[in-house]
Amino acid sequence: MDITGSGGPRPQVRITGSLSRVRAGAPGAPPMLRAELGGGRDAVTVIWLGRTSIAGIEPGRAVTVQGTLARRRGRPVIYNPRYQLGAGPGGSVPG
pLDDT digits (tens, 9 = 90+) for 63-81: 999 999 998 888 999 999 9
Residue 58 in 3-state DSSP? coil
Q: Residue 26's pLDDT is what?
A: 87
Q: Residue 94 above 70 pLDDT?
A: no
Q: Is 93 inside any structural domain?
A: no
Please indicate whether residue 66 or residue 26 has the higher confidence score (pLDDT).
66
Q: Is 95 inside any structural domain?
A: no
If one counts the domains in the chain, the total is 1
As a whole number of angstroms, the distance between CA 60 and CA 6 comes to 27
As a whole number of angstroms, the distance between CA 17 and CA 44 comes to 10
CATH number of domain containing 22: 2.40.50.140
Q: Is 33 inside any structural domain?
A: yes
What confidence tier does 9 reach under pLDDT thresholds 50, 70, 90?
low
User: Residue 24: which domain range?
Assistant: 2-85
Do the Cβ atoms of 81 and 51 come closer than 8 Å?
A: no
Q: Is 91 inside any structural domain?
A: no
Q: Is 58 inside any structural domain?
A: yes
Q: Residue 5 above 70 pLDDT?
A: no
pTM above 0.95?
A: no
Q: Is 81 inside any structural domain?
A: yes
